[in-house]
Amino acid sequence: MREDSLSRQRFAQIQQLLPATNKDEVLNAPPMANAARPIGLEQYYSEAGPDYVAWSPEFNMHFGYYRAGANPLNREAMLEQMNAEVLARLQVDGITEPRLLDLGCGLGATLRSFARRLPHSELLGVTRVPWQVEQARALNASAGYRDRIGVIEADYENTPLASSSFDGVYALESSCYAQGSDKRRLLEEAHRLLRPGGRLVVVDGFLRGRFVSRAQQRIYRKVCACWVVEDFAERQAFVRRLEKLGFREITVEHLQMRVAPSVMHVPWVSLKFLLTDVVFGTRPMTRARWNNVLAPLLLPLVSAPLGPLTYCMITAMKR
């Protein structure tokens, strides 16, 4: 009973994060039908989305963070560690009920990880994919977080959320989908949503330097096409944009070696997927599903040390 009323209270608090005019509609609305929007991203994640379970039963749709002493064979633990590393950099320890926003939340695995780690928090995720909204809400509900985590369909470059309403905002392997080489609109929106003193954490692949050959550039284009990414951010341009927006305490961490152990799981996961889901599976193998197999296999050919794509965690504080 007490738990119930606490949940309702949290739900009401999450609702406060939404604009006054339509918060009920936004939070409770069934995911919208795919109206007049570009279909690439929605189609990709709706068709290939269920396949991510082969990578992570918890639906962590990102690479893992390896710490010395950890078991490099335990992929899920490394994926979960990445969530923990993001949370650590948001620096919300001293805040009684931190409000955190996931820009590009996928199926909400990071939000559920945060809900476990921060029992007194208000968590909200946005994704552009209606199928993910539906699934993330179902997964949140079955984990007992129906009223603690909100997930809404929105474009993270232009959300309906109130300004200065979050203590921390993060984008975990989702910033690559934002427009431009400096991801200006995403960073402007993150800046608007953060309260002064709040922190932004972005984890993703960033371009630094040149391609060594035309062939490598073509492979990079193929990786982007497979994942429906226009272009990964250019690291320098991205950091300059953060500076221009007035962010302070900008730090760039190079995580190539940290993610390498989980990247090494890709061939094995792909092989297992091909045998179980392709050979014996019942769902039709669409182009989006094949792309999801191909992109991670090509990724090492364009990533450091062979290519210019480097995996970084970039942290900044709003003045």
Ligand X SMILES: C[S@@+](CC[C@H](N)C(=O)[O-])C[C@H]1O[C@@H](n2cnc3c(N)ncnc32)[C@H](O)[C@@H]1O
User: Which residues, numbered 206-235, are part of the site for ligand X (CB under 6 A)?
Assistant: none
308 binds ligand X (CB under 6 A): no
Q: Binding string to ligand X for residues 234 to 253, with x set by CB under 6 A, is what?
A: --------------------
User: Which residues, numbered 12-51, are part of the site for ligand X (CB under 6 A)?
Assistant: 41, 45
**Number of chain positions touching ligand X (CB under 6 A):** 22
How many other C-beta atoms lie within 10 A of the C-beta of residue 134?
A: 16
Of 10, 23, 62, 258, which lies in the binding site for ligand X, with binding defined by CB under 6 A? 62
Dist CA 15 CA 23 (whole Å)? 6
> Residue 102's closest CA among 161, 145, 182?
161
58 binds ligand X (CB under 6 A): no
Which of 104/308 has CB closer to ligand X? 104
261 binds ligand X (CB under 6 A): no
61 binds ligand X (CB under 6 A): yes
Look at strands 99-103 and 149-153 and give their pairing: unpaired
Which of 41/260 has CB closer to ligand X? 41
Of 81, 91, 113, 132, which lies in the binding site for ligand X, with binding defined by CB under 6 A? 132
Which of 77/214 has CB closer to ligand X? 77
User: Which residues, numbered 164-203, are part of the site for ligand X (CB under 6 A)?
Assistant: 172-174, 177
SS3 assignment for the chain? CHHHHHHHHHHHHHHHCCCCCCHHHHHHCCCCCCCCCCCHHHHHHHHHHHHHHHCCCCCCCCCCCCCCCCCCCCHHHHHHHHHHHHHHHHCCCCCCCCEEEEECCCCCHHHHHHHHHCCCCEEEEEECCHHHHHHHHHHHHHCCCCCCEEEEECECCECCCCCCCEEEEEEECCHHHCCCCCCHHHHHHHHHHEEEEEEEEEEEEEECCCCCCHHHHHHHHHHHHHCCCCCCEEHHHHHHHHHHCCEEEEEEEECHHHHHHHHCCHHHHHHHHHHHHHHCCCCCCCHHHHHHHHHHHHHHHHECCCCCEEEEEEEEEEC
- Per the listing, tokens 């992929």 go with 75
123 binds ligand X (CB under 6 A): no
Of 31, 64, 98, 106, which lies in the binding site for ligand X, with binding defined by CB under 6 A? 106
Which of 59/220 has CB closer to ligand X? 59
Of 47, 122, 147, 157, which lies in the binding site for ligand X, with binding defined by CB under 6 A? 157
In the complex, minimum distance from the CB of residue 21 to ligand X, in angstroms, rounded to a whole number: 21
Of 46, 60, 135, 165, which lies in the binding site for ligand X, with binding defined by CB under 6 A? 60
Of 10, 89, 112, 128, which lies in the binding site for ligand X, with binding defined by CB under 6 A? 128
Of 155, 162, 237, 285, which lies in the binding site for ligand X, with binding defined by CB under 6 A? 155
> Which residue's CB comes closest to ligand X?
106
| Segment near ligand X (CB under 6 A); pick from 31-39, 55-63, 287-295, 308-316 | 55-63
Asked if residue 98 lies in contact with residue 166, where contact means CB atoms within 8 angstroms, the answer is no
In the complex, minimum distance from the CB of residue 193 to ligand X, in angstroms, rounded to a whole number: 13
Amino acid 293 reads V
What does the binding site for ligand X look like in residue numbers (CB under 6 A)?
41, 45, 60-62, 104-106, 109-110, 126-129, 132, 155-157, 172-174, 177
